Amino acid sequence: MSRKAKQLDCDLESLQQLEALVRSKKSEFRLVERARMVMACLKGAAIREVAERFQTTTNTVIFWRDRFAQSGVEGLTDMPRSGRPARYDTEFRETVLRLLDMPPPNGRTRWSGVAIANALQVSDDAVSRLLRREGIRLRSGYSLESSVEAVQSL
């Protein structure tokens, strides 16, 4: 004998949000699919039917159905995942960009990734990742002394 799923209720505003999400062409696919699962449950479809229709497990349907019952449409989004917190945040980004607007250190004609890392006492890899992400390409910043030495050695 199969168990009967408890009736899922929702208010008019949540129903309108779900319908908009189901029709959305720009929302993330998994979010739209979760909304479709919940809509099917709201229309009275059996959990097993919904699972077969969406080619997933009954536990997945139950999970998203219960999350919707507890948190509404917001419950259909992914929760933040655990993991190591970001070491370099937006403050680091702003500091690097501000530093690039300042004159380079003594003996240099321009900033280099290593010079920025040394000035901020951070990893040069972190600086190069940030610059790459921002689309900033630095030429190597030769020091004035090394340029003079190179010319004298000729």
Q: What is the mean pLDDT for each group of 10 consecutive residues in the chain (154 residues)?
A: 67 92 92 95 92 95 94 91 84 92 87 91 92 84 47 47
* pLDDT on residue 108: 84
Element spanning 24, H or E: none
* pLDDT on residue 80: 86
Judge residue 141's burial from the number of C-beta atoms within 10 Å of its C-beta, 0-12 exposed, 13-18 middle, 19 or more buried: middle
Contacts of 10 (CB under 8 A, 6+ apart): 18, 42, 68, 72
The pTM is what?
0.55
* pLDDT on residue 29: 93
* pLDDT on residue 3: 59
* pLDDT on residue 19: 94
* pLDDT on residue 10: 83
DSSP secondary structure code for residue 54 in this structure: T
* pLDDT on residue 140: 56
* pLDDT on residue 83: 87
